[in-house]
């Protein structure tokens, strides 16, 4: 590094120069980025064992000013981060994924950014997938086995987990969560469950699970721990209103922000304005109402994007759009096998879009498989942020696949995932799935569980010790619908992937929390 401080006729130099110009009072500071390893000048200036010249302390003070200004400049240059998450949105619902719903605003993100053709949820149901998104870790490591029922379960996102919000908060971001939470909130039975502020969010307005009684006029939102009563309007628009309000009311407008917006749509029970429903069919047609909830959400996203544009933040914001799991409608999975709740492709493949103007190429389509598990390490990679390296992540940093500069340098061709994508859901058949390259490996339980939808925490010991049977192998490049089992034809591939699946599984289970034994 080289820092050049001009003051009168004197010039101080130290290290390597990367160009930049900052003014401070009567000083002109030529600098761009500080490499802290190159601090020999500052060390010598502050060495109390050496006789101090009359210029030493002023010189050190000038350099400290330079360091402070560079740090401030770095913060100002960091982008905002906006995550937009749909609930139960299918792989082929929105326009840019060849879907039937009119979604011009979501499509604009794909046009201005990079769309992943094969992007995956963290799980085939909501709570676990959200835990994976926030932590970059398999949801069982984070304390979440299945979807959470706060009134009867101790389960929640563990406070020990480092979330995206906490990483960004450490980098002096303002943070907010708006919308569905479903990672555990205090209940009468379990009043000590953590709230979003204990996971790094300065401000939050959320629901335990779904908007109730439906998307229309919900009455179960909680703002910073306080119920706010019945709201007029539709959930997605109420969420957008709160997000815009928070952006307008922030104390430090120049502070970068992380806004985590998790919509309720199109999760049932569904509702949408009659005018929008009419664009897709009859008012009582479930498919028409389903489509209208997505259309309405797209309009809410459009309002949020318009606010960012009006305030000059649009091009300074990294935007990530995805869904928590696949659709519950068989006709919205793009012909893939299965749907929400099962570990076939239709239950776990979702849209995935990354948009950051000037940094991420516009209109690109990425064929490399990726997923919500990659979001935390990717944000750290894109923004050059530090996280707790002692915490094992199951996701990988996608920034070499996304950043235009790295693509031009050939980094994308050398990129490798640190471990295969892996899914586990107790009630699913198959219970586990893993993707490595073009191959998908699935397996079934070798033990029985009761036939009921809601997960019971007393099942956890059996789940942690359980093994698998009935392995099936698919080549997703030639057979995305998973119709032809190749296990018998490719035994060497099968055995290699089985070994990896069991290795990942055992690592995850060794981190698991047995809520059945919790006090």
pLDDT value at position 20? 39
Contact yes or no for 145/126 (Cβ under 8 A)? no
Cα–Cα distance measured from residue 219 to residue 446, given in angstroms and rounded to the nearest whole number: 43
DSSP code string of 443-499 = EEESS---S-SS--GGGHHHHHH--EEEEEEEETTT-TT-----TTT-HHHHHHHHH
Residues 6+ apart with CB under 8 A from 327: 88, 89, 90, 91, 93, 266, 333, 339, 340, 346
Interval 210-235 mean pLDDT = 97
**Range list of H helices, 173-273:** 235-249
E strands, 170-327, are 174-180, 203-207, 222-223, 226-227, 257-262, 317-323
Query: What does the pLDDT look like over 432-477, one tens digit per residue?
Result: 999 999 999 999 999 988 877 788 999 999 999 999 999 999 999 9
Place of tokens 């922000």: 257
- Between the alpha carbon of residue 330 and those of residues 3, 300, 311, 340, 440, the distances in Å are 61, 26, 41, 9, 20
Cα–Cα distance measured from residue 448 to residue 418, given in angstroms and rounded to the nearest whole number: 33
Query: What does the pLDDT look like over 311-330, one tens digit per residue?
Result: 999 999 999 999 999 999 99
Place of tokens 């649009």: 314
Cα–Cα distance measured from residue 447 to residue 427, given in angstroms and rounded to the nearest whole number: 11
> Rounded mean pLDDT of the chain?
88
Interval 246-263 mean pLDDT = 93
Token pair, residue 225, equals: 């721990």
What the chain holds in terms of domains, given with CATH numbers, is 4-74 (no CATH), 78-414 (3.40.720.10), 421-517 (3.30.1120.10)
DSSP letter (8 states) at residue 337: S
Within 13 Å, how many C-alpha atoms sit on residue 250's CB side? 20
pLDDT band at 364 (very low <50, low <70, confident <90, very high): very high
Cα–Cα distance measured from residue 216 to residue 236, given in angstroms and rounded to the nearest whole number: 9
User: 246-260, 320-334, 401-415, 425-439: which range is least confident on average?
Assistant: 401-415
pLDDT value at position 15? 33
Q: Length of the chain in residues, anyone?
A: 519
Query: What does the pLDDT look like over 37-68, one tens digit per residue?
Result: 334 433 444 443 444 444 455 555 555 555 55
Residues 6+ apart with CB under 8 A from 49: none
361: exposed, middle or buried (Cβ count in 10 Å: 0-12, 13-18, 19+): middle
Name the percent of the chain lying above pLDDT 90. Answer: 79
Identify whether 184 is preceded by a cis peptide bond (ω within 30 of 0). no
pLDDT value at position 1? 37
Cα–Cα distance measured from residue 178 to residue 195, given in angstroms and rounded to the nearest whole number: 13
pLDDT value at position 77? 78
DSSP code string of 246-301 = HHHH-S-TTS-EEEEEE--TTSSSP---HHHHHTTS-TT-HHHHHHHHHHHHHHHH
Q: In 10 A of CB 460, how many CB atoms?
A: 22
Q: Is the predicted pLDDT of residue 175 greater than 60, yes or no?
A: yes
Place of tokens 């998973």: 482
Q: Is the predicted pLDDT of residue 274 greater than 80, yes or no?
A: yes
pLDDT value at position 251? 73
């Amino acid at each position: 590094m080289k820092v050049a401080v001009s003051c009168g006729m004197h010039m101080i130099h130290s290290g390597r120069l990367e160009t930049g110009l900052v003014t401070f009072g009567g000083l002109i500071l030529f600098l761009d980025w500080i490499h802290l390893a190159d601090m020999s000048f500052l060390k010598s200036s502050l060495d109390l064992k050496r006789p101090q010249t009359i210029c030493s302390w002023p010189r050190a003070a000038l350099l400290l000013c330079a360091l402070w200004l560079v740090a401030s400049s770095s913060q100002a240059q960091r982008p905002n981060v906006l995550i937009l998450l749909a609930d139960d949105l299918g792989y082929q619902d929105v326009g840019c994924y060849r879907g039937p719903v009119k979604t011009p605003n979501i499509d604009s993100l794909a046009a201005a950014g990079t769309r992943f053709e094969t992007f995956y949820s963290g799980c085939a149901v909501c709570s676990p997938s959200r835990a994976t998104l926030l932590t970059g870790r398999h949801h069982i490591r984070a304390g979440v086995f299945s979807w959470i029922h706060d009134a009867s379960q101790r389960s929640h996102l563990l406070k020990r987990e480092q979330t995206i919000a906490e990483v960004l908060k450490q980098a002096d971001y303002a943070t907010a969560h708006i919308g569905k939470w479903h990672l555990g909130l205090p209940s009468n039975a379990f009043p000590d469950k953590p709230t979003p502020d204990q996971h790094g969010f300065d401000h939050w307005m959320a629901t335990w699970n779904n908007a109730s009684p439906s998307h229309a006029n919900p009455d179960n939102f909680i703002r910073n721990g306080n119920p706010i009563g019945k709201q007029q309007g539709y959930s997605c628009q109420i969420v957008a209103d709160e997000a815009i309000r928070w952006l307008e009311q922030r104390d430090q407008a120049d502070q970068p922000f992380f806004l985590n917006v998790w919509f309720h749509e199109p999760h049932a029970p569904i509702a949408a304005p009659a005018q929008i429903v009419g664009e897709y069919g009859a008012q009582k047609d479930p498919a028409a109402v389903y489509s209208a909830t997505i259309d309405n959400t797209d309009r809410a996203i459009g309002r949020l994007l318009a606010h960012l544009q009006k305030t000059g933040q649009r091009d300074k914001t990294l935007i990530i759009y995805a869904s928590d799991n696949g659709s519950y409608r068989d006709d919205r999975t793009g012909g893939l096998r299965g749907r929400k709740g099962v570990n076939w492709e239709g239950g776990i493949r979702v849209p995935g879009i990354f948009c950051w103007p000037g940094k991420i190429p516009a209109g690109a389509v990425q064929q490399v498989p990726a997923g919500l598990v990659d979001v935390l390490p990717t944000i750290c990679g894109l923004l050059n942020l530090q996280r707790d390296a002692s915490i094992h992540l199951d996701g990988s940093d996608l920034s070499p696949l996304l950043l235009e500069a790295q693509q031009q340098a050939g980094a994308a061709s050398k990129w490798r995932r640190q471990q295969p994508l892996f899914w586990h859901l107790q009630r699913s058949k198959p219970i586990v799935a893993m993707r490595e390259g073009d191959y998908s490996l699935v397996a079934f339980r070798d033990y029985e569980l009761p036939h009921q939808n809601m997960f019971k925490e007393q099942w956890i010991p059996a789940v942690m010790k359980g093994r698998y049977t009935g392995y099936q192998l698919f080549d997703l490049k030639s057979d995305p619908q998973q119709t032809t089992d190749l296990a018998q034809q490719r035994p060497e591939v099968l055995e290699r992937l089985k070994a990896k699946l069991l290795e990942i599984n055992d690592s995850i289970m060794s981190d698991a929390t047995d809520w059945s034994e919790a006090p």
